Amino acid sequence: MHSSAYFLLAALALASACESKTATTGEANVAAKSATIAATTAAGEDPADAPTSGAAATATEEANAAPAPAPGTIPAAKAADAAAIYARPQVPILCYHQIRDWTGRDSKGAKDYIVPVAAFKAQIKMLADSGYHTVSPDQLYAYLTTGARLPAKPIMLTFDDTDLDQFTVARPTLAQYNFKAMYFVMTVSLGRPKYMSKAQVKQLSDEGNVIGSHTWDHHNVKKYQGQDWVTQIDKPTKTLEEITGKKINYFAYPFGLWNPQAFPELKQRGFVAAFSLAEKRDQQDPLFTIRRIIASGYWSPRTLHNSIVQSF
C-alpha cells in the first residue's frame, strides 16, 4: 500500500479506536461503567470480609517458581471440559490502556481509560503490598484447563492498544515489584507517535512478558466477514510472531465485544484463549470469554482492591 494511503487509514483507524474508547455509548463503556458501579458499591466494605478468590488457596512457593507448560503441550484429553473450567474460581485480571496524567482535553468517559502516573504507581504498590502475585496467561491457561496450582493471590495485568506509556511508565513500575504482564498489541499502531515500536514490543516479550493480539486496527470482531479475518487476525498474528519469535496464543477482543461465531474462527487460527471485559462469560466457551475489569483512572488503591474482590 502507498505510504500516504497507509497513513490515512492508520490515522482513521486510530481516531475511530479513540473515539469508541471515549464515547459514552459503546458496550465496552457499559462494561467499564458497571465495573465502576460495582467498585463504588463495594467501597467502604472491609476487603477482609469479602470472599476471596478460591484460586489463592492453592498457593505454594513452588507454584511461584514453576514455569507453566506451553498451551500446546497440554494434551486435549487431559483438559477439563467447559463446565469444569467455568466452575473454577476466576483469577482477577486487570485491563489498562493509557498511563499518563490527565489533560484538559480528556473527557470524563476517557478518564476511565487513562490512569494518571501517580495513581497507577499507587495501584501497583497496593497489589504488591497486599501480597498479589502476577501470573502469566500460560499459568492461567494451565490452571483453567488442568487445575494447575497458582501462586498466592494470583492476578493478571493486561495492557491494551500498544500505548507508549505502557513501555515508558508501566514497565519500570512493574519491574520494581518483579511483576509481569500481558500486552495486547494493535499492530496498525506499531511505531507510530505515542505508540510502542516493534523493538519495544520485542523487549517486553524478551523480558518475560507475553504479547497477545488485539487485531490490526481495533475493529469489532462481531462485524468480521471473509477477508476481515485475514486483515484483523491472520496478518497481525504473523507480524507479532515475527517480532517476538514466539507463537501468539492469546487474543483480546476490541471493546471487549465478542460473539460465539468468533470462537471457531479464533481456534482455527491457533488461539487457545481470548479475553473480554467485565460482562458474563460464555458458559459453553469460558476460555474464549475470560473476564477482565478496566482499572479506572478514577480509582484509589482501595477502590481497586474492593473492585477486584467484588468482581471476581
Binding site for Zn ion (CB under 5 A): 160-161
* Cβ(164)–Cβ(196) below 8 Å: yes
Q: What cell does 201 get?
A: 514490543
β partners of residue 260:
none
Q: Is the Cβ of residue 160 or residue 217 nearer to Zn ion in the bound state?
A: 160
Q: Is the Cβ of residue 86 or residue 113 nearer to Zn ion in the bound state?
A: 113
- Rounded least distance, CB 185 to Zn ion, Å: 10
Closest CA to 291 of 300, 282, 299: 282
- Rounded least distance, CB 37 to Zn ion, Å: 21
Q: Is the Cβ of residue 55 or residue 186 nearer to Zn ion in the bound state?
A: 186
Q: What cell does 219 get?
A: 475493529
* Cβ(144)–Cβ(99) below 8 Å: no
Alpha carbons 54 and 74: distance in angstroms, whole number? 23
Q: Is the Cβ of residue 148 or residue 157 nearer to Zn ion in the bound state?
A: 157
- Rounded least distance, CB 74 to Zn ion, Å: 28
* Cβ(296)–Cβ(112) below 8 Å: yes
- Rounded least distance, CB 146 to Zn ion, Å: 30
Alpha carbons 92 and 29: distance in angstroms, whole number? 19
Q: Is the Cβ of residue 21 or residue 171 nearer to Zn ion in the bound state?
A: 21
Q: What angle do CA 149, 167, 91 make, to 5 degrees?
A: 25
* Cβ(265)–Cβ(16) below 8 Å: no
Q: Is the Cβ of residue 86 or residue 251 nearer to Zn ion in the bound state?
A: 251
- Rounded least distance, CB 120 to Zn ion, Å: 17
- Rounded least distance, CB 17 to Zn ion, Å: 7
Write the CA distances from 212 to 6, 42, 253, integer angstroms: 23, 31, 11
